[in-house]
Structure formats: structure tokens, C-alpha cells
Structure 1
Amino acid sequence: MVTTLLSLEGVGKTFPSGTVALRDVRLDVRPGSVHGLVGANGAGKSTMIKVIAGAHAPTAGTMRWKGEEARWRNPGAARNAGIATIMQHVPLAPALTVLENVFLGSPGPWRLQRGRRAELDRLLDRVGYAIDPDAEVADLAIGERQMVAILQALATGAELVVMDEPTASLADAERQVVFDVVRRLSAQGTAFLYVSHFLDEVLDLTDQVTVLRDGTVVESGATAAYDEDRLVQAIVGRDLLAAERRAPTPVETGRPPLLTVRGLDSPAGVHEVSFEVRPGEVVGLAGLLGSGRSEILHAVYGADPRARGEVLVDGRRVRRRPRAAVAAGMALVPEDRNAQGLVGAFPIWKNISLPDLCSLASGRALPREGAERRRAVRAIEDLGIVCPGPDAAVTELSGGNAQKVVFGKWLYGGARVFLLDEPTAGVDVGAKADILDLIRGFTAESGAVLIVSSEFEELLAVATRVLVIREGRVVAERAAHETSEEELLMLANGFDGGGAPDAD
């Protein structure tokens, strides 16, 4: 009987550019185990996954599969051997049905083969899940697509399933379905390598855990020997809480507000919202998914053309468009950084200078590349962006480092009001702490911040005040140091904090 399904022995990976991504990595995955892999953004997790999946060839060390040395020529060779990889962005064919996607790539003219539906029924019974075989993948929810990817992996006969951030975009109920399927399949003998930033998931779901830092395995052992604090310390290399609560910095209440919002209203789901943010203040917007939190941010920024109401910066009214907002000193860090915050075709230095080209141009006409590059180098040093240099493509950066580039776009121009929509989504605990420190540093220089976060703990860690949003309205306001996650959750759900629903 095979006691170790996959083994990495001193594996290293150095790219032609000279970047060392992995150093002397050792890993053992047993049949039927759920093995957690954690590490900061840029720690080497993605490279390690690609080596296992056959997308990258290691430059040092040995990989063994079922005890035999293995060097995959390509991902197809790894898949044929029994390794399936499910990436964070599930690569399914949206125009095809569930049945067609599950058996995509199977040998032979599968459309003419009989028994595919029966085979899918057996797979569904194996995972304990029900789905319409004839539904188009484009019409499925994200959680259902994740299940189709798992079924696709099982259809190839996978003995090891590598899951990269499988729940990053899932709601709690969908997340639980994935957990149940992983547990069920591991009990049947399928092994999993489970990569996640959610440490509570790793502690709850896995039986072994390996920690990567700077391309090296720094700890590995039974998950039962770890708690969240120990994992965090191993990941970041220092004693750090993911969202450390600090005593609030006093805000001078006598100073006039830097940002004023009056009677903001929009068909997008914003109703008569009014508030102020003073210099040095961080105001959090706490609400459940669909509460209107992000819609408020976009309406303030002028990105919602249907919005009505007044937005003032330093007492001056801002016209209803993003260009006017930028000119007034507002900066938006959007939730979808890849689609809205970065230009993927541009290197770091072009992204950093994009909002402030006029000040970096000769005669306010032609941008000076030297000035743009110097600003990028400054941002890389100030923000601790892990990259080969300013010419690196932003698409090659880890989530946390890409988010720092989005921040870096605004830090050196005239931005005085930051609008932050889920600024730490998809980043590790170390990058999260760095971003929260960035926010604190910005307000220490008399900036003002309006922040949306699904993690109420994060809001309480950085905010001065919290506005609770429900159905597009501000339903409550609390001083951050006088409330709790539990109270915010109750208020967001429509309870008055004492367990009774609000009158409306």
C-alpha cells in the first residue's frame, strides 16, 4: 500500500530572470488526507502548485508520485497520472452544459458515447450533490461552478485534487457545500492539497498543514498542533494579529469635515444617505452582501450617473463624475482590482503614475518616463511591494502586492479622501496588516477614509466610527471602540442590538 501519494524532496524553482521562487521545498501528501498549504502572497504557493501540476519544471530536487520519480512534461501528463488542479478562477466552458464540462477532454467522440449521464449520476452520488446535467455553466452560481470543477476532476480519475483558494468568492452556504464534499471524498481515499488564505478553514478542514515563507517550507505538521495565532506567526515571521485592534487616534471634532455627503440617493439601491468624515478619521460602512455599501462608495465617487445628492470635499461641491472626484482629491480603491484598479497590459511603473500623469509630464503634455519610474521605485520601497522591479507586469504579482500597487497609484498625488471597497479581499494576513497600516498612516497625515469591508473585525481594527448599512440606508452609527462584531452583525441583520427586530 502506498503511504505517500505525492512527495517533494528538496524541490527548487529559479526562473530565467534569476528570481528564486522555491528553495529546498519538502512536502508529503498521504492518500485520503486533506493537506493545507498556507503562506503570504508571494511566498511561492502558486509556483509550487504549478510544479505539482506540470505547468513548471523544477530546477532542483525530486518529485515522486506513488513512490516513483516523476517529471511531468506538461499539465496533461500530470492529469493523466491522477493529479487534478482546480484554480481560483474556474476554467470552465460557460457556453457548454454541466454534462459537457464534466467530461470535457475525455477521449473519443464523447457526444456519441452512451453512458455519460449514468457516469455523471454515479459521480453526483459519490459527492452527495445534485445539479441539472443540462444546465449551461454560464447560468450557474459561483458555488455550483466550483462543484462542476470538482466533478470534472473526479471524472479524470484524480487521486489528488489541488484546490487553489476554492472558497474565495463563495457565500457561507456554498462554502459549507465545498467543505462537505472534500470531507466526503477524502473519507473515500481521494487526497487534497488545499490552498487558502482563510486560516479558520485550514484549521477546521485539514489534517496536515505546510507553511511556505519566501519560497521555503518553514513549518509542517499535524493541523491539530496549530491554532490561528501560531499559523499567523509562521506565515509572516513575526507575532502579528490579522486585524489588531488599537486604541482610536483622537480626531479633532472642531475641524471642518473633509468629506461631506448629503441626501445621496440612487436607483442602484442608495436611499437618503448623509454623513461626514473629518481629517484623520476612518469611517467604516458595515453591512451584509447586497446592503448597498459598495453602491454608496461608487455614488460618492461619481461613478453612478443616476445618483442624486451632494458630495463636498473641503466644503466645495464635487460634480457627478469620477474625473471631477479625482480633481477634488478623492481616490477609489475598487473591490475588483484586476478589472477596475489596474491596467493588466501595463507594468508597475505605468500603473503607479496613471492618475497623476500631468504632474509627471513636461509642460503638462508628455509624461517623463524617468519621473514615472522614480515614483514607482519609491512606491515599491515605501509599500514593500515584492516584485523583480518596476518593469514587472502587474498580472504577475500576488494579490497583496497587486493591491499595494493600487494604493500606490494614489499616495503620491493630491488624494486626500480614500474610498476603499474591500481593500484586503484575497490577501494574506501579512499583506492585510500592511494595508491596514497604510490606512492608519494616511489618516495620520490628515487624510480621510471611507472603507467598506465584509470583515467587521477589520472595520473595528482600523475605523474611528462605523455606519451600519441596511437596504441602502444608514440604520445605525457606533464608535468603533464602543461596539463589537456581534452588535454590528445584529444591527446589519435588522435587530436593535438587544435581539429585537427593528420596527421597519
Structure 2
Amino acid sequence: MVGPPLLSMEGIGKSFPNGTVALRAARLTVHPGSVHGLVGANGAGKSTMIKVIAGAHEPTSGVVRWKGEEVVWRAPGAARKAGVATIMQHVPLAPTLSVLENVFLGARGPWRLPRARRAEFARLLERVGYAIDPDAEVSGLAIGERQMVAILQALATGAELVVMDEPTASLAEGERQVVFDVVRRLSAQGTAFLYVSHFLDEVLSLTDRITVLRDGTVVEEGETAGYDEDRLVQAIVGRDLLAVERKAAAPLADDARVLLSVRGLSSPAGVREVSFEARAGEVIGIAGLLGSGRSELLHAVYGADPRARGEVLVEGRPLRRTPRAAVAAGMALVPEDRGAQGLVGTFPIWKNISLPHLPALSSGRALPREPAETERAVRAIADLGIVCPGPGALPGELSGGNAQKVVFGKWLYGGARVFLLDEPTAGVDVGAKADILELVRAFAAGGGAVLVASSEFEEILAVATRVLVVREGRIVAERAAHETSEEELLMLANGFGEGGARDAA
């Protein structure tokens, strides 16, 4: 790039009080008018890097320079005032306000007058080459339109650098193209973009330069023209293996019964004509990137999505589409957000573990028996190796890995035969990951069927019998776990290499 950088970061380190080191001597340089891609696996440090740029995190070490001057942004407002706008995946707009009011929310200047404000809005629309009703209420907009409102809001603040975090994760193809066109148009006018995405095809087609993070360190950077999908995948994955033994799955018995059948399952939430079967003793990996529909698929199977259509059968019997019916049929869901969906924070461990099957632990199925509940919790603590002061501890007192084990403990003793696990090792340390994956193996070995949805493909391969690759709500490929690799799954999830003989229709 010709000319001085707009943003430069050198030797950036970030450590947290709990001992987590998120960034290690990281670096980044963004030039005016460029579109710079930032990529890496989950946990690579992308989010922390974004927060340092946005002023939400102050780096532990290193130097940030803005237009050549060293800066220390101790709050997001300071970064915004300097000319940095950050657009997160979940667009933080005010839903009850109009488009116009959101675009100029908190703005200062003459456009606070209605006529001047509308004139400025019209100029912004001309800049981006997009049309939208300024008086439309944001709550009624499609997600793609909300993304455009966020871009307009960034421009209204005078942003010279726009950081976009997974901007297309929830968008349909047509909406993605609109975002791409606007990014290209604005970069040609001199606005710089830092584009953070799991979708590598987008990064390769849209950006000028790429920085690759792995384990908090920059492992590669260079002109996008020097990369293809193979090189980028290799850079992201690296050769650092998890401390989880990858074991060959035991062959399924010829007479292994089908525990779960899914036929033509679809939902407006992002599931499209999905069909598959899971047999006793089988672990099926659902491999997909952020926004692929993997979580939505599990929720639809479980009956937690009232808009889903299609057929779900447990041991040959059609399932009524409610979570209560799923539990009664022997299905368990371990959700991605264990804090909000998997645990009751105000309940001690013993109450959380007994909650799904409380009638069986109650006198006359009506009056809870605390000794029986506590006994089950003590058993779970011992069986799962939950490190805690005792069954009376609250979930908030536990580490992430131990809290996740409590979620598993809720289901292990109630006769569940089908486990649906959504990012089961998210936010836990390596030791806890190994423990949790061993629980998955043990459940399948005991005759259950497990679906594991994850963007951590190495973990999927550590436990899966076979893998279904999901992209845009569809199963686009199926692989036997022992016949594929993390690199191949990442390419398939990104849309590279689809259409082969082994790929799903």
C-alpha cells in the first residue's frame, strides 16, 4: 500500500485477571481505502483484537498508532471520536426508533434539525448507493437492512475505519452481495474496512490484505492475491493439535437400531430440507461456521422452534414438536449458551441437576424430595469430576468447564437416549474439553446417539463417527470421520469443493 497507515498496532498483548492470555505480541496495519481481512479459528484472538481497536479493552502491552500518532483509547467513545466505528454481528440498533433516528443517534451538529438531518441522510444514501425509507421503524426491517442502517450510522459519525465483525453471518445471499457492493464502493472513496469473517470465500474475494491470527499471535499476513483457499486454511488451522486423543470410532453393529430420524426439516430460522438418521452408538458431528444454521438445526430437531416443519422420529415414533415431548421421548439438548439456557443461576447444583426429571424425584410425582435430588447431584459430581465446594454451590461459582459438566449431569440419569450438543466445549479449558469429549464417547458407547454441532472441527473429528457439513441451513456434504480432515471440513463449510460424488444432494 502507498502512503502512511491509518491504523498500526505493534507488539499488542492482552492478559486478563483470570490468567487468560488472549493476544501475544500481535500486530496489524490498515491503510486508508483498504479492505483488510482478519481471520482465525474460534479463540484465536480476533474478538480481543477488535475490542482493543474499538477502545473496549486497553492492551496490556504494545503500541497503537492512529494516523501516525500513538494513542490510548480507554473507552469506545474515544475510538469513535477519533474515527473508528465497529459494527458487531448482532447489530445494536434501537428497534423502536426509525431508520433516520438510528442513523443519527447521539450525533451532534446541524443535522439535528429535521430538514438538515434528512438532507444529510440523502447524501449518505448517495454515498453507499442504497435506498431505504428513513421513516421505517427498525424493528420491521430485515437483518440485511439493519446491517445497512449500521453502516450508515458509522458513516454519520465520520468514521474513517469501519470494523465489521461477521457482517454476513445471518444474511441471505442477496443481502450479502449488497453489503459487498457497499464495502467496495466506500473503500474506493477512501473509507478503510477491517473485515472479520469465518467465511473465507468472502475474505478472498473482498479484501486487499489478510492477517491470520492463531492462539493470539499473528502467524501470517500478506496481500490477498497471494492466497488461495488451501493456503488460507492451512494458515488458520496450523499444526497445533488439541490435547484430545483422536480415537477411531468403533464400527457400528449391523443391527444398530435407528434412534433418531429427521425427514425434510425446514424452518424460517435457517434450516432447509434437512434429512438424516442417527443410530445407537453413533456420534454425528454437525460441522458448520458461524451463521451456517447448525444451532438452528438442533433447536428444530428438539422442538424448540415452533416454526419448524418436517418430521422427527425417536425410535420410529413421531415426535410432537415441543421440548417437553422431546424430553419425554428421551432426547436431551445441551445448548450453546449454558448460562442463559442450560442453567438456572440462582439454583444450586443439586436443583439444576434434578430439574428436568423432578417428578421422578418427588413423592407422588408432586412433592420434591430434597435428599433424592441431593443424592443425584453427589453422584453426578463424582461421576463427572465436577470441581466444586459441594452440591449446594451456585453455577456462577464454577469454572466454565465445570458448569458445562453440570449441564451434562442434568440429563445423564434420566434415561435420555439422544443427546443434542451445541458447542459443548465453548469457553472451557483444554483439560475440561478432554473430559467433556470423553463423556460424549461414553454416552455413545452405552448405546445412545449423539449430535455434536461445533465450529471446532478438530474436536468433532476427535469423537465423531461421521460428519455432516452444514452451510446456509443445508447439509452440503457427509464424510466418515476417519476419512476426512479438519482442512477438508473447513473448505466444505466455506463452500469450496462441494459437488463431489461423496457430497450430499
Q: In structure 1, how many angstroms separate the alpha carbons of the residues matched to 2:230 and 2:402?
A: 26
**5 Å matches for 1:469-484?**
484=502
Q: In structure 1, how many angstroms separate the alpha carbons of the residues matched to 2:148 and 2:350?
A: 39
Aligned equivalent of 2:124? 123
Q: Note if 1:102 corresponds to 2:103.
A: yes
- Greater Cα shift, 85-94 or 447-456: 447-456
Q: In structure 1, how many angstroms separate the alpha carbons of the residues matched to 2:345 and 2:115?
A: 45
SS in 2 for 1:78: helix
Distance 1:90 1:282, change over 3 A: same
Distance 1:409 1:147, change over 3 A: farther
By how many angstroms is 1:408 displaced?
A: 4.9
Letter matched to residue 133 of structure 1: P
Distance 1:180 1:262, change over 3 A: closer
Percent identity (aligned): 60
Aligned equivalent of 1:297? 301
By how many angstroms is 1:81 displaced?
A: 0.8
By how many angstroms is 1:171 displaced?
A: 1.1
SS in 2 for 1:125: helix
By how many angstroms is 1:11 displaced?
A: 1.3
Q: In structure 1, how many angstroms separate the alpha carbons of the residues matched to 2:410 and 2:477?
A: 21
Runs of 5+ in structure 2 lacking a partner? 242-247, 362-368, 388-394, 454-467, 483-498
Distance 1:406 1:214, change over 3 A: farther
User: After superposition, what is the alpha-carbon deviation per residue over 1:391-427, rounded to whole angstroms, capped at 9, x for unaligned?
Assistant: 5676xxxxxx999879856785554313468x69x99
SS in 1 for 2:419: strand
Q: In structure 2, how many angstroms separate the alpha carbons of the residues matched to 1:354 and 1:41?
A: 32
8 Å contact kept, 2:469–2:478: no
Aligned equivalent of 2:459? none
Aligned equivalent of 1:366? 374
By how many angstroms is 1:86 displaced?
A: 0.5
User: What RMSD, in angstroms, separates the aligned Cα atoms of the two structures?
Assistant: 5.2
Aligned equivalent of 2:147? 146
8 Å contact kept, 1:440–1:462: no
8 Å contact kept, 1:37–1:194: yes
Q: Note if 1:238 corresponds to 2:242.
A: no
Letter matched to residue 71 of structure 2: A
SS in 2 for 1:252: coil
Q: Note if 1:68 corresponds to 2:69.
A: yes
Letter matched to residue 419 of structure 2: F
By how many angstroms is 1:353 displaced?
A: 5.1
8 Å contact kept, 1:349–1:373: no
- Greater Cα shift, 92-101 or 368-377: 368-377
Distance 1:375 1:213, change over 3 A: farther
8 Å contact kept, 2:351–2:373: no
Q: Note if 1:229 corresponds to 2:230.
A: yes
8 Å contact kept, 1:213–1:235: yes
8 Å contact kept, 1:12–1:23: yes
User: After superposition, what is the alpha-carbon deviation per residue over 1:110-133, rounded to whole angstroms, capped at 9, x for unaligned?
Assistant: 543531111111111111111000
Q: In structure 2, how many angstroms separate the alpha carbons of the residues matched to 1:419 and 1:323?
A: 15
Aligned equivalent of 1:386? none
Q: In structure 2, how many angstroms separate the alpha carbons of the residues matched to 1:216 and 1:239?
A: 13
User: After superposition, what is the alpha-carbon deviation per residue over 1:42-80, rounded to whole angstroms, capped at 9, x for unaligned?
Assistant: 221111111111111112111000001011131111111
Give the paired residue count: 435
Q: In structure 2, how many angstroms separate the alpha carbons of the residues matched to 1:285 and 1:16?
A: 34
8 Å contact kept, 1:280–1:446: yes
Runs of 5+ in structure 1 lacking a partner? 241-246, 380-388, 395-400, 465-480, 489-504
Q: In structure 2, how many angstroms separate the alpha carbons of the residues matched to 1:11 and 1:79?
A: 20
User: After superposition, what is the alpha-carbon deviation per residue over 1:318-341, rounded to whole angstroms, capped at 9, x for unaligned?
Assistant: 88864564365312356x747974
Q: In structure 1, how many angstroms separate the alpha carbons of the residues matched to 2:39 and 2:355?
A: 35
Aligned equivalent of 2:159? 158
SS in 2 for 1:8: strand
Aligned equivalent of 2:57? 56
TM-score, normalising length from structure 2? 0.69
Aligned equivalent of 2:486? none
By how many angstroms is 1:461 displaced?
A: 2.8
Q: In structure 2, how many angstroms separate the alpha carbons of the residues matched to 1:40 and 1:160?
A: 24
Q: In structure 2, how many angstroms separate the alpha carbons of the residues matched to 1:167 and 1:239?
A: 29
Aligned equivalent of 1:36? 37
Aligned equivalent of 1:470? none
Distance 1:306 1:220, change over 3 A: closer
Distance 1:207 1:120, change over 3 A: same
SS in 2 for 1:37: strand
Distance 1:215 1:357, change over 3 A: farther
8 Å contact kept, 2:354–2:377: no
8 Å contact kept, 1:84–1:153: yes
Aligned equivalent of 1:214? 215
Letter matched to residue 220 of structure 1: E
User: After superposition, what is the alpha-carbon deviation per residue over 1:254-274, rounded to whole angstroms, capped at 9, x for unaligned?
Assistant: 34433478999x9x9x9xx99
Letter matched to residue 364 of structure 1: A
Q: In structure 2, how many angstroms separate the alpha carbons of the residues matched to 1:321 and 1:369?
A: 27
By how many angstroms is 1:105 displaced?
A: 0.8
SS in 1 for 2:478: helix
Q: In structure 1, how many angstroms separate the alpha carbons of the residues matched to 2:351 and 2:196?
A: 29
Aligned equivalent of 2:259? 258
SS in 2 for 1:365: helix
Distance 1:108 1:406, change over 3 A: farther
- Greater Cα shift, 107-116 or 403-412: 403-412
Letter matched to residue 418 of structure 1: F
**5 Å matches for 1:85-96?**
85-96=86-97
Letter matched to residue 147 of structure 1: M
Aligned equivalent of 1:171? 172
- Greater Cα shift, 123-132 or 212-221: 212-221
Q: In structure 2, how many angstroms separate the alpha carbons of the residues matched to 1:234 and 1:274?
A: 34
By how many angstroms is 1:357 displaced?
A: 8.6
Aligned equivalent of 1:20? 21
SS in 2 for 1:100: helix
Which of the residues 468, 479, 485 maps onto 1:461?
479
Q: In structure 2, how many angstroms separate the alpha carbons of the residues matched to 1:189 and 1:354?
A: 59
Q: Note if 1:330 corresponds to 2:331.
A: yes
Distance 1:317 1:24, change over 3 A: closer
Distance 1:224 1:278, change over 3 A: same
Distance 1:47 1:319, change over 3 A: closer
By how many angstroms is 1:203 displaced?
A: 1.3
Q: In structure 2, how many angstroms separate the alpha carbons of the residues matched to 1:223 and 1:351?
A: 53
